[in-house]
Amino acid sequence: MPVREGLALYEAAAAAGALGLPLLEVGTYCGRSTILLAEAARESGTVAVTVDHHRGSEEQQAGWEYHDPTVVDPEVGRMDTLPTFRRTLHAAGLEDHVIAVVGRSPQVARVWGGQLGFVFIDGGHTDEHAAADYEGWAPKLAEGGTLAIHDVFPDPVDEFTGQAPYRIYLRALESGAFTEVSATDSLRVLRRTSAAL
């Protein structure tokens, strides 16, 4: 996450913290954005929840541009970012302000029972994954809550990296339930202004 986007994410999460509801992110990876949400949660007296299966997104698999072989578990031969994520939280001193849920986003969303003040979608970049994240978590966002979507690239040249997030961003606006608050590079921040979704 670039610095400008990270600062915008933090500001949006800090403002959403005023609702007193959990701040949730989909897509933990190694925890860079989690520490921003955790700090916002700490300051507002709530908690950050981060959901990830820790096996990496499509573009992080072997042979792809964003693959990092240092996070491959040599015993099972698959990516495992959970140990790196835990070290990141520990180094930041924010472990007490984060609930890490290891699982697939749609499965976790199905069993999640409460409302959220903030949802940050930064998971897989296929239409299937982005749509499932939006469909699973947007309805759980309280009215007045904030929906942030990362890697929104309107240009079709970015089909693999940002068109699916762009499509769920458009879907949120077209639903009439969300109003855009800000756009910082590839980060879009929306506020839920209607209960109808």
For 140-174, what is each residue's pLDDT tens digit? 999 999 999 999 998 877 656 668 999 999 999 99
Report the range of poorest mean pLDDT among 21-25, 65-69, 173-177.
65-69
Residue 107, token pair as written in the block? 């499965």
Which amino acid, residue 7? L
Residues tagged active-site: 125
Report the range of poorest mean pLDDT among 104-108, 161-165, 172-176, 190-194.
161-165
Average pLDDT taken over every residue of the chain = 91
Identify which of 119, 113, 109 has the alpha carbon closest to the alpha carbon of residue 37: 119
Q: Is 22 left (phi over 0), alpha (psi -120 to 50) or beta?
A: beta
Query: Across residues 43-70, what is the average pLDDT?
Result: 77
Give pLDDT, residue 66. Answer: 63
Give pLDDT, residue 149. Answer: 98
- Model pTM score: 0.91
